[in-house]
Amino acid sequence: MGFLPRLGRDKGRPTDPDGIYFYVRCDHCGEKLRIRADRRHDLLEDYQTGTLVWKKEIMDSRCFRIMYATVVFGPGLRVQSQTVEGSGHFISQEEFER
């Protein structure tokens, strides 16, 4: 029963300190996806540019189209660029939750 007091705590705040979340919409079927990047294991360092890069293959569960997401991070894990190849695009968290 020790987990019960934690259920309502920190509502609305991120509880995943190692996760970076991105939101993508499939252009073909319109499905919205929430994708997690683990900052400890999923980010690769580009030694030539000094940036961190996250690459992910994404498939939705409606039309099963594959999308390829690439995000480049600068200092402080600030997004420098983000692209989706295939039939998709990034959306905001607010748009995802609508």
Q: What pTM value is reported for the model?
A: 0.80
CA gap 69, 22 in Å, rounded: 10
Q: Is residue 13 part of a domain?
A: no
Structural domain boundaries, residue 71:
19-97
Q: Is residue 87 part of a domain?
A: yes
Q: Is residue 3 part of a domain?
A: no
In the three-class reduction of DSSP (H, G, I as helix; E, B as strand; rest coil), residue 53 is classed as strand
How many of the other CB atoms lie within 10 Å of CB of 95? Answer: 11
Cβ atoms of 72 and 79 within 8 Å: the answer is yes
- Each residue's pLDDT tens digit in the chain (98 positions)? 454 444 444 445 558 899 999 999 999 999 999 999 999 999 999 999 999 999 999 999 999 999 999 999 999 999 999 999 999 999 999 999 99
State how many domains the chain has. 1
